[in-house]
Amino acid sequence: MSINVEAEDLIPFSEARTAFPGGKRLSLATLHRWRLSGVRGVRLETCVVGGLRYCSQQSISRFIAAQNRDELPPPAITAKQRRTQAESAMKVLEAAGI
């Protein structure tokens, strides 16, 4: 999802440094790293208006929410079950001459 310039409240990057929760002033380099490389596969959404880079309070909220999503659920079958199924499949393939 990208920033909706008309609907979201744009924050210049220099001010976004203090817009994150925790009251700590972030490094400008950190914000650029989050927008370029991301964290855990999630990038901070930004836009450029008139040569200046902006993000929005909504994009910050989405970035934080994506960081805190629940981890993937455990697989439906265990490793032992998967191994047993693979061995059974190999026997069927051998019996079929494949």
* Model pLDDT for residues 2-45, shown as the tens digit of each residue: 888 889 999 999 999 999 998 889 999 999 999 999 998 899 99
60 sits in the region (left: phi over 0; alpha: psi -120 to 50; else beta) called alpha
- Taking the whole predicted model, whether its pTM rises above 0.85 is answered as no
Dihedral in degrees, nearest 10, Cα atoms 60, 63, 66, 67: -100
Residue 94 pLDDT > 70: yes
What residues does each domain of the chain span? 1-98
Residue-level pLDDT at 23: 83
